[in-house]
Amino acid sequence: MEEDFSPWFRRMLSENELVDDRYDVKGMLVYRGNGMKIIKNMVSHLERLLEEDGHEPTLFPILIPETLLEKEKDHIAGFEEQVYWVTHAGKTPLDRKLALRPTSETIMYPMFALWVRTFQDLFIKVHQTCTVYRYETKQTRPLIRSREFYWNEGHTAFAKREELLENLNKVEEIYVDLISGLCCVPVQVNRRPEWDKFPGAEYTTAFETIMPDGKTLQVATIHNLGQHFSKVFNIVYDDEEGEKHHCYQSSYGPGFGRLLAAVVAVHGDEKGMIIPPMLAPTQAVIVPVVFKDKDKQEILEYVDKIAAKLKGEGIRHIVDAGDERPGAKYYKWERLGVPLRIEAGPRDLGEGKVVLVRRDTGEKSYAKLCELDVGEILDEIQDNLRKEAGDKFGRRLYTADTLVDLDEKLGEGVVTVGWCEADECAKSLDERGTILTILDQADECIVCGKKGKQIRIAKTY
């Protein structure tokens, strides 16, 4: 699968009915039931964490008048090639064109300006789960690069810079909880180089994982916007002394499509997907194993008993009592990544036992029904998936001493090398991969040997 990641990945998406890319608008994906159920679990986990931290749920409009989108100069420069424009309503030309949001800073911040008068109106922390639109000119790929993508975006305004910095730390924690805690996807947090930051930001922090083909995938970003937007949108508060100040702001968002791609890719194997239990729409499947018709009724009753126990413990489960052979059922549920399979046949029934098969390790074990603790097993699977993925991730972090060495390791993962910060040497690096971040650590330039800093470089999606 690592050899041939791309066809394997496409097969996962279609065989498991996660998404369908055959809709007749390029780069616009249909999320089907099995994909959307996983995403809904991501959304509710994230929204809960954000709301516990004081973010208010909101929904802002999708359309942006050109005048608003243009206000922040760097911002419009970054997006002007990428926005879809609405120009007509019915047969009537609109008197000004309206952009489909590529992100919502320029929609939200004029409203923030209306809501903020004094320090008592601060802080503002809002979030919304919605779709945004970017006319990508690069090749689109299902879940990985779309022209419509489904995300959650958070936006803030604070009185003090320190409060903003505290917020940035907290959101980083929340995103790590979502990505690594819930989804068991390991990430590296990289502050992007100046030339690669979000248009209008002071700096951008990105979360990236490494896919089985060695390319990195950015799954979330956090932007320190400083006072760039509050100055152009006039988000001003009076302090205790009645003095006016501009707010400090941040915006951030993880993409659910990319996160789903990462879950499928990072945990999957040749049998199919493996969905971490906390994230899985179905955490356990119960399969009655019937050899003789005369046993059927009794086994089905036993299976009902198992199901009742799981229900009582709040385990999301399915009983697969269909007519297929057990083997065909095992195959299907393994492909779909259900973390735990519980089998019950005539002998198990007699002994008051069940057979347990873990999707992550393939390990088969037995348990007395009265002693069965599915929650505990699911926790173990969750922890094991996180650990396994973390170990794999760790093995994909390299250093290189020569350009030949670098070339070999790029495409395997993230490589740390030195760079002198000169444009000419950057050109040589750019041909090979993408500079993810510049670290503080001193190092010799891998191209020219002069003094410089450590950087992380990788091939990226």
Q: Which residues bind a copy of itself (CB under 8 A)?
A: 20, 22-25, 28-33, 36-37, 39-40, 56-65, 68, 80-91, 97-98, 100, 107, 110-111, 114, 126, 130-131, 133, 135, 148, 150
Q: What residues are paired with 357 via a beta bridge? A: 341, 364
Closer residue to a copy of itself in complex, CB, 100/400: 100
Closer residue to a copy of itself in complex, CB, 26/347: 26
Residue with tokens 């945990």: 267
Phi, psi of 114 (to 5 degrees): -75, -30
Closer residue to a copy of itself in complex, CB, 135/203: 135
Is 378 within 8 Å of 425 (Cβ atoms)?
A: no
Q: Closest approach of Cβ 102 to a copy of itself, in Å?
A: 11
Closer residue to a copy of itself in complex, CB, 86/442: 86
**42 membership: H or E segment, kind and range:** helix 33-52
Is 410 within 8 Å of 428 (Cβ atoms)?
A: no
Dihedral angle sign, alpha carbons of residues 403, 406, 408, 410? negative
Q: Closest approach of Cβ 151 to a copy of itself, in Å?
A: 12
Start-end of H helices in 188-292: 228-233, 256-267
Closer residue to a copy of itself in complex, CB, 257/452: 257
Q: Closest approach of Cβ 46 to a copy of itself, in Å?
A: 13
Is 243 within 8 Å of 203 (Cβ atoms)?
A: no
Closer residue to a copy of itself in complex, CB, 97/309: 97
Q: Closest approach of Cβ 82 to a copy of itself, in Å?
A: 6
Q: Closest approach of Cβ 60 to a copy of itself, in Å?
A: 5
How far the first Cα of the chain sits from its last, in Å, is 18
CA distances from 179 to 6, 120, 241, 251 (A): 22, 34, 43, 18
Q: Closest approach of Cβ 256 to a copy of itself, in Å?
A: 9
What angle, rounded to 10 degrees, do the helices at 256-267 and 5-15 form?
110
Q: Closest approach of Cβ 283 to a copy of itself, in Å?
A: 16
Tell me the two tokens of residue 443: 């190092």
Residue with tokens 């970017």: 134
Closer residue to a copy of itself in complex, CB, 35/452: 35
Closer residue to a copy of itself in complex, CB, 132/349: 132
**DSSP class of residue 307?**
H
Q: What residues are paired with 209 via a beta bridge? A: 217
**DSSP class of residue 269?**
B
Closer residue to a copy of itself in complex, CB, 130/403: 130
Q: Closest approach of Cβ 348 to a copy of itself, in Å?
A: 30
CA distances from 136 to 84, 140, 145, 147, 173 (A): 10, 7, 8, 6, 30
**251 membership: H or E segment, kind and range:** strand 248-254
**409 membership: H or E segment, kind and range:** helix 403-409
Q: Closest approach of Cβ 412 to a copy of itself, in Å?
A: 34
Is 146 within 8 Å of 265 (Cβ atoms)?
A: no
Closer residue to a copy of itself in complex, CB, 105/343: 105
Q: Closest approach of Cβ 86 to a copy of itself, in Å?
A: 5
